[in-house]
Structure 1
Amino acid sequence: MKEKIIEKANDMFLNFGFKSVTMDDLASEMGISKKTIYTHFQNKTKLVEATTDFLFCCVCDGIDSILEENKEPIEELYAIKAFLMYHLKDEKTSPQYQLQKYYPKIHNTLKVKQFEAMQECVIENLVRGIKKGVFRADINIEIISRIYFIGMMGIKDQEMFPRQSFPVSKLMTEYLEYHVRGIVTEKGQTILNNLIKEQ
């Protein structure tokens, strides 16, 4: 039952936001009593913590599966972007923003975990890209990987990018292209242009 509650809560939080969904809403949606939820989770904060952990693990597993396919480095970045957009339901309610505003401790813990996971993945991608001649050999991997992470977090800032004017899918597409164009070789540029045409 605990897993079912986490899965349903995760779905509802992504669709309606962490603030909007109440324990009553969740109980009603699942056809169970609120008492059943409280048997597994002391309060809503504990439930939010469990769902963010669950989503983080799901996303990491999905990205690991993409990495195992050993795609060409630029294709890999676009495959990860497509997976994230599908999995995060286009972030209609900007859960990251709500998490930061209403559950800052959970948000900060998650951000550290995201940074560690993303650093490893991005650095590996950059190293392979350089070896394959699609990324420039003179880039500073440590700096580029950190700039990429900050940018990915930054485009989720609703004050800078209000959702009604800047849909997440558009932002992620533009940012990824911006990132890749800044580091590609001529060979990489050709691959990127072909990928953009296919999108």
Structure 2
Amino acid sequence: MKDKIIHKASEMFITLGFKSVTMDDIANELAISKKTIYTHFKNKTELVHEVTMNMFELISHGIDCICDLQKNPIEELYEIKKLVMVHLKNEKTSPQYQLQKYYPEIHEALKAQHYKKMSECTLRNLKRGVAMGLYRENLDIDFVSRIYFIGVNGIKDEALFPVHQFPKIQLFEDYLEYHLRGIVTNEGLKTLNKFIKTTVHNA
């Protein structure tokens, strides 16, 4: 039952926001009593923590699986972006913003985990890209990986990028292209252009 609660709460938090969804809402969706939820989670904060960490582990596992395939580094980044969008696809709410505002301690813990995971993945990606001649060899990869992390988090700020003006899927697409255009070689640009054309064609 605990896993069912986490799964349903995850869907509702992502779709409607962490603040908007109550324990009563989750209980009603699962057709159980609120008391049943409290036998597994002492309060909503504990449930939010479990949900966010579970989501992080789920996405991290997916990213590991993509990285294990050792694809072209540019393709790898597009596959990771696609995976993240599947999990965070809703464009009408900002779970990240609500988490930061109403559960700051959980948000900071998640951000630290996110940085560690993303840093490892990005550094490997950059090193492989340079070795394959797809990224410029004079890159300061530690600097680039940190700037990329700041950007990925920065575009989630709805005060700067309101959803009605910058739909999330397109925003992530634009930022990834922006990031790659700054680091690719002429050879890497050929590969990047293929993905840009594919994206435009499928839009």
Q: Extract unaligned runs of 5+ from structure 1.
A: none
More moved, 187-196 vs 89-98: 89-98
2:90 and 2:72 map into 1 onto residues whose CA distance is 25
Deviation at 1:187, TM superposition (A): 0.2
Which residue does 2:71 correspond to in 1? 71
Which shows bigger deviation, 11-20 or 81-90?
81-90
Q: Is the Cα–Cα contact under 8 Å of residues 14 and 91 in structure 1 kept in the other structure?
A: no
After TM superposition, the score normalised by the length of structure 1 is 0.99
Deviation readout 1:8-57 (Å, 9 max, x if unpaired) = 00010000000000000000000000000000000000000000010000
Distance in 1 between the 2:71 and 2:16 partners?
34
For the pair 1:155 / 2:155, whether they are aligned, the reply is yes
Asked if 1:30 corresponds to 2:45, the answer is no
CA distance in 2, matches of 1:92, 1:178: 24
Cα separation, 1, equivalents of 2:9 and 2:127: 38
Compute the displacement of 1:195 (Å): 1.1
Tell me the matched-pair count.
199
Distance 1:64 1:91 in 2: 26
In the other structure, the counterpart of 1:135 is 135
Deviation digits for residues 118-149 of structure 1 (CA, Å, limit 9, x no counterpart): 00000000000000000000010010000000
Identical columns (%): 57
Q: Deviations over 1:162-193 (max 9, x none)?
A: 11111111110010000000000000000000
Root-mean-square deviation over aligned CA pairs: 0.7
2:167 corresponds in structure 1 to 167
1:12-161 equivalences under 5 Å are 12-161=12-161
* Partners of 1:111 and 1:6 in 2: CA distance: 20
Q: Secondary structure at the match of 1:28?
A: helix
Unaligned runs of 5+ in 2: none
How many Å apart are 1:91 and its aligned residue? 4.9
List 4+ stretches of structure 1 deviating above 4 A: none
Q: CA deviation at 1:92?
A: 3.4
Counterpart Cα distance in 2 of 1:92 and 1:156: 13
Distance in 1 (CA, whole Å) between partners of 2:178 and 2:124 is 19
Matched, 1:190 2:170: no
Shift of 1:153: 0.3
